[in-house]
Chains A and B, each alone.
Chain A
Amino acid sequence: EDQVTQSPEALRLQEGESSSLNCSYTVSGLRGLFWYRQDPGKGPEFLFTLYSAGEEKEKERLKATLTKKESFLHITAPKPEDSATYLCAVNGAAGNKLTFGGGTRVLVKP
């Protein structure tokens, strides 16, 4: 059974204070690791897909990296508008569906 654990559960940052979110996973045959952003009262919004260890993707102040056991979402010089819950999910050998972690709630204070 695929499993995803995200840490920390919550993160409070000052504007400009860079940090990293962790996503540890156990999966039989990784077919993709996904990062989503979720704002309060909204559905998850797609950020990145990573497929193999060593892969990196960037979007504005966000950078996602992948190893064989975990993924990191680095937030560089965050702004208050980066405040959201960040969700990690994996698609394993069973295919056709994502297994999500519990998310990390990020609050960036001005």
Chain B
Amino acid sequence: NAGVTQTPKFRILKIGQSMTLQCTQDMNHNYMYWYRQDPGMGLKLIYYSVGAGITDKGEVPNGYNVSRSTTEDFPLRLELAAPSQTSVYFCASSWEGASGNTIYFGEGSWLTVV
């Protein structure tokens, strides 16, 4: 049971560099999400997708981009990394959105921008 798989697990970036966090799910879920979690804080929604080809902004989208070309994959792109993007990133997926359905989370990707 793979569930939601994120790569890489850990990454150190220099200021101004770009990178992509990969996320794939094998549950055929239509909804996918990217959250970030700062130390001692709850999760904040960056972007979400309700299906292939459809994405929308969450609470904290600035500095990020996403795409959803397939049901399985939902990569998160960081352009021009800044220290404020140092965080733990969680990808998640669910059926039909959060209402009444369980959201399954990946193990997280720890990103440090120096």
For chain B, which range describes its interface: under 10, 10 to 19, 20 to 34, or 35 or more residues?
20 to 34
Select one of B4, B31, B35, B107 contacting A42, CB under 8 A.
B107
Asked if A43 contacts B42 (CB within 8 A), the reply is no
Asked if A4 contacts B100 (CB within 8 A), the reply is no
Asked if B103 contacts A95 (CB within 8 A), the reply is no
A44 located at the interface, meaning its Cβ lies under 8 Å from any Cβ of chain B in the complex: yes
Question: What total count of A-B pairs have CB within 8 Å?
Answer: 72
Instruction: Give the A interface residue count (CB, 8 A).
Output: 27
* Contact surface of B with A, Cβ cutoff 8 Å: 4, 31, 33, 35, 40-45, 48, 50, 56, 58, 90, 92, 97-100, 102-108
A-B contact pairs, 9 of them (CB 8 A): A34-B103, A42-B107, A43-B4, A45-B105, A89-B42, A91-B97, A91-B99, A97-B33, A102-B40
* Contact surface of A with B, Cβ cutoff 8 Å: 4, 6, 9, 31-32, 34, 36, 41-46, 49, 51, 87, 89, 91, 95-103
